[in-house]
């Protein structure tokens, strides 16, 4: 338990100056990961991502005293960001289902394994087209699927960890991940088919 707990109580739940400074330091360490995720959850809309980050940061700062182990700060911050995003997206219209197609086994997983939100110029040049296609496909996913795909396939969390972060059953994570990956295949193969002359079969 932190020594300034009494100060928080007398200040109506507000964190002390020392606690706020510690929170700012934690936030700075994980800012790149948070921004990359917020930007993708906001479908590339920088203004929306900034609003999402601000809302999540305010919530995190208010509950910083609940974080017992600061070495778990990254997953704690991403949890708050994820839940904030899902709460904001709950009333928004979901995009319609696309026609189903198939992508050769392992191709999507290989593409996701190559994903790296923080790229060097050389990496960006080499994978610009893949990056563009993945970004557009991720943006087309419903909010629940998009956040699960990001947490598991990009951030590398286990199903159990993602379930705990999102406060849902592990089976829900598995279901959303399956449907999200399937939809990514549909979108990626659909775009590839659209570039072929006459739009013929693959």
Tens of pLDDT, residue by residue over 164-195, are 999 999 999 999 999 999 999 888 887 545 44
- C-alpha angle 89/92/96, rounded to 5°? 115
Q: Dump pLDDT digits (tens) for 6-18.
A: 344 434 445 555 5
Report d(CA 199, CA 174) in Å as an integer.
33
pLDDT per residue as tens digits for the range 98-116: 433 344 445 555 555 555 5
Q: Is the domain of 120 the same as that of 184?
A: yes
pLDDT category at 91 given cuts 50, 70, 90 is low
Specify whether 116 is located in the same domain as 35: no
**Could you report the per-residue pLDDT of 127-148, keeping only the tens digit for each?**
677 777 888 889 999 999 999 9
The candidate with the shortest Cα–Cα distance to 43, out of 173, 176, 178, 135, is 135
* Residue 100, domain member (yes or no): no
Domain count, the chain: 2
Whether 53 and 21 share a structural domain: yes
- Specify if 84 maps to a domain: yes
Q: Which of 62, 89, 116 is the last residue of a domain?
A: 89
User: Would 22 be classed as within a structural domain?
Assistant: yes
- 26 shares its domain with 65: yes
CATH number at residue 151: 1.10.10.10
Residue keyed to tokens 């917020």: 38
Cα end-to-end distance, the chain, whole Å: 61
Residues of the domain holding 115: 107-199
3-state helix, strand, coil in the chain (%, to 5): 70, 0, 30
Predicted TM-score (pTM) of the model is: 0.64
Give the pLDDT of residue 96.
42
Do 111 and 71 share a domain, yes or no? no
Chain center to CA of 23: 21
How is residue 90 written in tokens?
């709950």
């Amino acid at each position: 338990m932190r020594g300034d707990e009494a100060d928080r109580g007398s200040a109506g739940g507000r964190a002390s100056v020392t606690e706020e400074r510690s929170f700012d330091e934690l936030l700075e360490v994980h800012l790149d990961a948070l921004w990359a995720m917020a930007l993708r959850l906001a479908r590339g809309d920088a203004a929306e991502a900034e609003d999402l980050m601000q809302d999540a940061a305010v919530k995190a700062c208010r509950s910083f005293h609940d974080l017992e182990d600061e070495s778990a700060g990254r997953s704690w911050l991403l949890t708050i960001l994820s839940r904030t995003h899902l709460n904001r997206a709950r009333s928004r219209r979901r995009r319609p289902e696309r026609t189903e197609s198939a992508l050769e086994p392992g191709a999507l997983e290989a593409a996701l394994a190559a994903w790296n939100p923080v790229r060097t110029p050389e990496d960006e040049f080499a994978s610009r087209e893949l990056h563009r296609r993945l970004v557009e496909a991720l943006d087309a996913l419903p909010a629940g699927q998009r956040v699960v795909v990001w947490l598991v396939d990009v951030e590398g969390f286990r199903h159990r960890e993602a379930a705990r972060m999102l406060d849902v059953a592990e089976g829900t994570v598995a279901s959303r991940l399956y449907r999200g990956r399937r939809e990514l295949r549909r979108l990626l193969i659909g775009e590839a088919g659209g570039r072929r002359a006459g739009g013929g079969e693959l």
